[in-house]
Amino acid sequence: MVQGVIFDLDGVICSTDEFHYLAWKALADKEGIPFDRETNNLLRGVSRMASLEIILRKATRSYSEEEKASLADYKNELYRGYLKQMTPADLDPNVLKTLHTLKEKGVRIAIGSSSKNTKTILTNLGIIDVFDAIADGNDIHHSKPDPEVFLVAAKKLGLEPSSCIVVEDAFAGIEAAKRGGFVAAAIGDAIKDPDADYVLSTLSDVLSIALA
21-60 residues near Mg ion, rule: CB under 5 A: none
Q: Is 45 a residue that touches ligand BG6 (CB under 6 A)?
A: yes
Closer to Mg ion at the Cβ: 8 or 193?
Answer: 8
Q: Is 188 a residue that touches Mg ion (CB under 5 A)?
A: no
User: How many CB atoms are located within 10 Å of the residue 153 CB?
Assistant: 31
Distance CA 181, CA 179 (A): 6
Q: Is-contact 44 171, C-beta < 8 A?
A: yes
Strands 183-186 and 108-112: unpaired
**Choice from 4, 5, 6, 10 touching Mg ion (CB under 5 A):** 10
Closer to Mg ion at the Cβ: 137 or 181?
Answer: 137
Cα dihedral 98, 190, 172, 165 sign: positive
DSSP code, position 14: B
**Choice from 13, 25, 27, 47 touching ligand BG6 (CB under 6 A):** 47
DSSP notation for 84-136: HT--GGGS-HHHHHHHHHHHHTT-EEEEE-S-TTHHHHHHHHT-TTT-SEEE-
| Catalytic status, residue 146 | no
| Catalytic status, residue 189 | no
Taking the complex as a whole, the smallest distance from the CB of residue 16 to ligand BG6 amounts, in Å, to 8
Q: Is 189 a residue that touches Mg ion (CB under 5 A)?
A: no
Stretch of 44-52, 89-97, 178-186, 197-205 lying at the interface with ligand BG6 (CB under 6 A): 44-52
Closer to Mg ion at the Cβ: 8 or 175?
Answer: 8
Q: Is 43 a residue that touches ligand BG6 (CB under 6 A)?
A: yes
Q: Is 175 a residue that touches Mg ion (CB under 5 A)?
A: no
Distance CA 75, CA 24 (A): 6
Distance CA 173, CA 31 (A): 29
Q: Is 44 a residue that touches ligand BG6 (CB under 6 A)?
A: yes
Closer to Mg ion at the Cβ: 63 or 92?
Answer: 92
Taking the complex as a whole, the smallest distance from the CB of residue 115 to Mg ion amounts, in Å, to 8
Q: Is 137 a residue that touches ligand BG6 (CB under 6 A)?
A: yes
Residues 6+ apart with CB under 8 A from 179: 145, 146, 147
Question: How many residues of this chain bind ligand BG6 (CB under 6 A)?
Answer: 18
Active site residues: 8, 10
